[in-house]
Structure 1
Amino acid sequence: MKSAFIESRPFLLLSLLFGISYFFVRDSNIPGLYLMLWKGAGVGFLAVYALVRLHRIDGKIVGAIMALGAIGDMAIEYDQTMGAIAFLVGHILAILFYSRFRRHKLAFSQKLFVILLVPLSVLIAWTLPSDRADALGVAIYCLSVALMAAMAWTSRFTRYQVGAGAILFLVSDMLIFARMGPLETSMIPEMLVWPLYYFGQFMIATGIVRTLRHEMASESSDPVQA
């Protein structure tokens, strides 16, 4: 128990500290570079957490996915295209990762949900920007997020943590797209985008680590702390 606390809890606590506090300091007078690093630290410490808690290739992959998210969080403050590219690469890596952990059997309702999730998300995203020149790019980017969420939902990781976290990530991005159109003057995206995104990432990282560590424990018959 003590070893687990020393190895993992500080990184989760630091992630929560920076991830939650960023919401309250993002409009403050903190210099831009420090605020950018503050923003990236929330998900950045999730990357460290995954690397520390999973001593195998899966930990490196999950760490890389989270690290790309943190890079995207920071880069998007200065260049939206660079930030979007970092997130896009992270989504592709996540899709490939989840494909290795496919759930063998899905209920009809779960299959229907996934079948509808991707095309409906892309269609809605395409309709949102007021500037129609942005619509195609938004739809293409949304495709990567929706596919990531669909793959997470159909993976054998818990839907109530990893699957739900991926859906929160998707909803957060949909609100960003809505801010380009119908919710341009609304406070809803301002209030919800960051919390949905950050806690979605937190749920994904901790859910994957918990599942894989329990599997490792079952293989070795040793108790484990996630």
Structure 2
Amino acid sequence: MKSAFAESRPFLLLSLVFGISYFFVMDSNIPGLYLIAWKGAGVGFLAIYALVRLHRLDGKIVGAIMALGAIGDILLEIDLIAGAASFMVGHLLAILFYSRFRRHKLAFSQKIFAILLVPLSVLIAWALPFDRTQAIGVGVYGLSVAVMAAMAWTSRFSRYQVGAGAILFLVSDLLIFARMGPMETSVIPDLLIWPLYYFGQFMIATGIVRTLRHEMAAESADPVHP
């Protein structure tokens, strides 16, 4: 247990250091390349954490999802479309991943929430930009992140960690779209977008890893049957 904790702690600590500190330096005069690398490091270290803590295919998938997020963080500073594309690929991979871990029983209220989450999120995303030529693209991207959040919410991973983390991710993106419209002069998106996104990713990565490691430990403790 101690060796496992020591093995993972540096990467989570580095993720937190870069992820939290980026919020305070993102508008500073730090040279662009350094700041871009700083931004990508927060979620990038979550990718390494997943790969180190899950020595199986699931770890590689979660690591890839986080890596695509980190690449998206970097590319957004260079080309918005390229960054959005990286995130969309990550969302599609996450959707496929969550589909393998369906929750067998859902309360009626949870089903309704998941069902309504996608169309409402897409409608809000589509309606936000003042430039209506951007509405379709924003709506398509909104669909990918909304489906990802709904799948995370209805998966058998912790709803209060992985599901809630995915919802924070979704809200962060909706605030980005709001900054393209009615909140373009508001400070609220600037204050909330990065914290919601980063801690959403942190909750997703650590929640998935914790659940799967507990399952692996339980499986290894089971007697071997012929």
Alignment of 1:75-224 (within 5 A): 75-221=75-221
Which residue number corresponds to residue 14 of structure 2? 14
Distance in 2 (alpha carbons) for counterparts of 1:80 and 1:21: 23
Please, which runs of 5 or more residues in structure 1 have no aligned partner? none
Shift of 1:221: 2.0
Q: CA offsets, 1:166-188, max 9 Å, x none?
A: 00000000000000000000000
Read off the aligned partner of 1:149 and give its amino acid letter: A
- Higher mean alpha-carbon deviation, 197-206 vs 27-36, is at 27-36
Distance in 2 (alpha carbons) for counterparts of 1:29 and 1:137: 32
The two structures have a TM-score, normalised by structure 2, of 0.97
Read off the aligned partner of 1:160 and give its amino acid letter: Y
Q: CA offsets, 1:30-63, max 9 Å, x none?
A: 1100100000000000000000000000000000
Shift of 1:4: 1.8
The two structures have a TM-score, normalised by structure 1, of 0.97
Please, which runs of 5 or more residues in structure 2 have no aligned partner? none
Query: Secondary structure of 2:19's partner?
Result: helix
Shift of 1:216: 0.3
Which residue number corresponds to residue 34 of structure 2? 34
Read off the aligned partner of 1:95 and give its amino acid letter: I
Shift of 1:25: 0.6
Shift of 1:6: 2.1
Query: Secondary structure of 2:173's partner?
Result: helix
Distance in 1 (alpha carbons) for counterparts of 2:36 and 2:81: 16
Which residue number corresponds to residue 25 of structure 1? 25
1:50 aligns with 2:47: no
Which residue number corresponds to residue 61 of structure 1? 61
Distance in 1 (alpha carbons) for counterparts of 2:174 and 2:159: 20
Distance in 1 (alpha carbons) for counterparts of 2:144 and 2:39: 23
Query: Secondary structure of 2:102's partner?
Result: coil
Q: CA offsets, 1:94-121, max 9 Å, x none?
A: 0000000000111100000011000000
Residues paired across the two proteins, number? 222
* Structure 1 residue ranges, 4+ long, deviating more than 6 angstroms after superposition: none
Query: Secondary structure of 2:106's partner?
Result: coil
Shift of 1:29: 1.1
Q: CA offsets, 1:111-148, max 9 Å, x none?
A: 00011000000001111000011001000000000000
Query: Secondary structure of 1:85's partner?
Result: helix
Distance in 1 (alpha carbons) for counterparts of 2:215 and 2:4: 16
Distance in 2 (alpha carbons) for counterparts of 1:6 and 1:115: 41
Q: CA offsets, 1:5-27, max 9 Å, x none?
A: 32100000000000000000111
Distance in 2 (alpha carbons) for counterparts of 1:5 and 1:61: 21
Q: CA offsets, 1:178-214, max 9 Å, x none?
A: 0000000000000000000000000000000000000
The alignment's C-alpha RMSD in Å is: 0.8
Read off the aligned partner of 2:49 and give its amino acid letter: Y
